Amino acid sequence: MTTHMKTDLLVIGAGSGGLSVAAGAVQMGADVVLLEGHKMGGDCLNYGCVPSKALIASGNVAHLQAHGADFGVSNVVPRVDYAAAKDHVADVIAQIEPNDSIERFESMGVHVISEFGSFVSPTEVQAGDTRITARRIVIATGSSPMVPPIPGLETVPYLTNETLFDLRAQPEHLLVIGGGPIGMEMAQAHRRLGSQVTVIEGDKALGRDDPEMAEIVLTALRSEGIQIEEDALAAEIRGHAGAIEVETKDGRIFRGSHLLMAVGRKPNIDRLNLEVAGIQTHRAGIQVDESLKTTNRKVYAIGDVAGGAQFTHVAGYHAGVIIRSALFGLPAKQRVDHIPYATYTNPELAQIGPTEADARKLYGAKLDVVRFDFHHNDRLLAQRQAKGLIKVMVVKGRPVGVSIAGPQAGELINLWALVIANKLKMSAVAAMVSPYPTVGEINKRVAGAYFSPKLFENPMVKRVVAFTQRWLP
């Protein structure tokens, strides 16, 4: 027997974006129904951001044990218990899980239904035995690992980010197909935990980043013994568990014990029956406008499924945008110029706005590019980590893009996200006083590097100072 429900807001998907919408809406007085047919918390909590950063932390501890001599502490060969490292990952997930649990959201007043949803009309969704009619609907179903149709892959065991963290036996030699952020993060974590690692990338590793910045990271990863093969398009995969071969289009052959597929993501739309709701899609996901509305004006799509930048923080930002529209009927549009992202290798990569190459195309002669090298930062010198670079793209005194490669790049980019979001100028950063010695001084120093030529290399400034010095008492 089908149960019928009516609600103000129906949210399909309990990942980061969906949970943020549901929590915000119910606390503002809306009647909210939330559907989740798999795990609360979505990809980020269960297979993505949280477990990957936990495993990276295990790898970092092992790396520190093996590299203490420069600090007067003897190097030791770390004794890695891979299964115990995975227990650490599971424990971190378990600590965060209550924040995303059914119990917590039901205590807020959200009606949670543990079923997948499928449209049966433009305003109705079927979830198991329940049919929900909603005034507004939010699709927040996220994305899944994309597995390309490489010949032979269907007969060979492989891992994705959804299965990697269940692995208990350490890979002897991990083959990673894909040199993007996920592939490179997991490559370094496993190398530091003692596995041999080969990354096989069909184009350029970390190819969406500024090439100069990417090279800083890739050089560091290669120095740790990670084999990174670029322009290596996988053409055939063969073998069996423990003995896998990847042959590339140009005839190179790479052998390993385990295979991780990390070539990108695909939107989770197959179950939704979007055609019935009049919702159009494109290759990257659901078609949305600047207000994140689909071609069905009563339905929004947010996060990965909306086909834009695939980051947890973007889904959370999208949630804030549509709350204004869905609950209050007020105009709201997303921005993309102030969205940062980071890759959590060591050293880290971070970016906001256009890279140098893209900024030069956009702004031409109006663009100033200011640089500051990490080897001038005293805190990082003390920590023997002073390898890195920050570049700020500036137009008429206002930063439009920032690229960072080095320790804590993901933390350093936060300030620039604030600056760009609020359209502040470089003078605001230069006026900031940073405690000494901190890594954060890098941001102030690069702002100082922007103004230095204007003050110290300007003949007019020198003439004015000389004149005033003659007349000052």
Element (H, E) at 200: strand 196-200
With cut-offs at 50, 70 and 90, classify the pLDDT of residue 461: low
Can 3-40+101-145+266-328 and 153-264 be said to share one CATH topology? yes
Predicted local distance difference test score (pLDDT) of residue 235: 97
pLDDT digits over 232-265, tens only? 999 999 999 999 999 999 999 999 999 999 999 9
- Return the closest-CA partner of residue 310 out of 48, 118, 21: 48
d(CA 16, CA 142): 9
- Return the closest-CA partner of residue 138 out of 23, 39, 4, 2: 23
Radius of gyration of the chain (CA): 25
Predicted local distance difference test score (pLDDT) of residue 309: 87
Beta strand spans in 201-284 (E): 227-229, 234-240, 243-248, 253-256, 258-261, 265-267, 281-282
Judged against a pLDDT cut of 90, whether residue 465 lies above it is answered with no
Predicted local distance difference test score (pLDDT) of residue 403: 98
Q: Give the residue-averaged pLDDT of 278-285.
A: 95
Predicted local distance difference test score (pLDDT) of residue 8: 97
d(CA 330, CA 324): 6
CB 426 within 8 A of CB 450: yes
Q: Give the residue-averaged pLDDT of 211-229.
A: 98
Report CA-CA distances (Å) from 346 to 39, 63, 228, 321: 30, 11, 15, 33
Annotated binding site for NAD(+): 178-185, 201, 264
d(CA 334, CA 314): 10
Predicted local distance difference test score (pLDDT) of residue 471: 74
Taking all residues of the chain, what is their mean pLDDT, rounded to a whole number? 95
Judged against a pLDDT cut of 80, whether residue 180 lies above it is answered with yes
Predicted local distance difference test score (pLDDT) of residue 52: 97
pLDDT digits over 388-398, tens only? 999 999 999 99
Predicted local distance difference test score (pLDDT) of residue 276: 97
Element (H, E) at 461: helix 459-471
Judged against a pLDDT cut of 70, whether residue 41 lies above it is answered with yes
CB 156 within 8 A of CB 147: no
Q: Class of the 153-264 domain?
A: alpha beta
With cut-offs at 50, 70 and 90, classify the pLDDT of residue 334: very high
d(CA 277, CA 296): 7
Judged against a pLDDT cut of 80, whether residue 271 lies above it is answered with yes
Judged against a pLDDT cut of 80, whether residue 470 lies above it is answered with no
pLDDT digits over 371-424, tens only? 999 999 999 999 999 999 999 999 999 999 999 999 999 999 999 999 999 999
| Third-level CATH fold of 3-40+101-145+266-328 | FAD/NAD(P)-binding domain (3.50.50)
Instruction: Name the superfamily (CATH) of residues 340-456.
Output: FAD/NAD-linked reductase, C-terminal dimerisation domain (3.30.390.30)
Annotated binding site for FAD: 53, 117, 141-143, 304
* Beta-strand pair 253-256/243-248: antiparallel
Domain boundaries, the chain: 3-40+101-145+266-328, 153-264, 340-456
Annotated binding site: 53, 117, 141-143, 178-185, 201, 264, 304
Judged against a pLDDT cut of 80, whether residue 467 lies above it is answered with no
pLDDT digits over 54-104, tens only? 999 999 999 999 999 999 999 999 999 999 999 999 999 999 999 999 999
Q: Can you read off the two tokens belonging to residue 36?
A: 């989740």
Can you tell me which residue has the tokens 């500036």? 394
pLDDT digits over 340-352, tens only? 999 999 999 999 9
Q: Give the residue-averaged pLDDT of 441-463.
A: 83
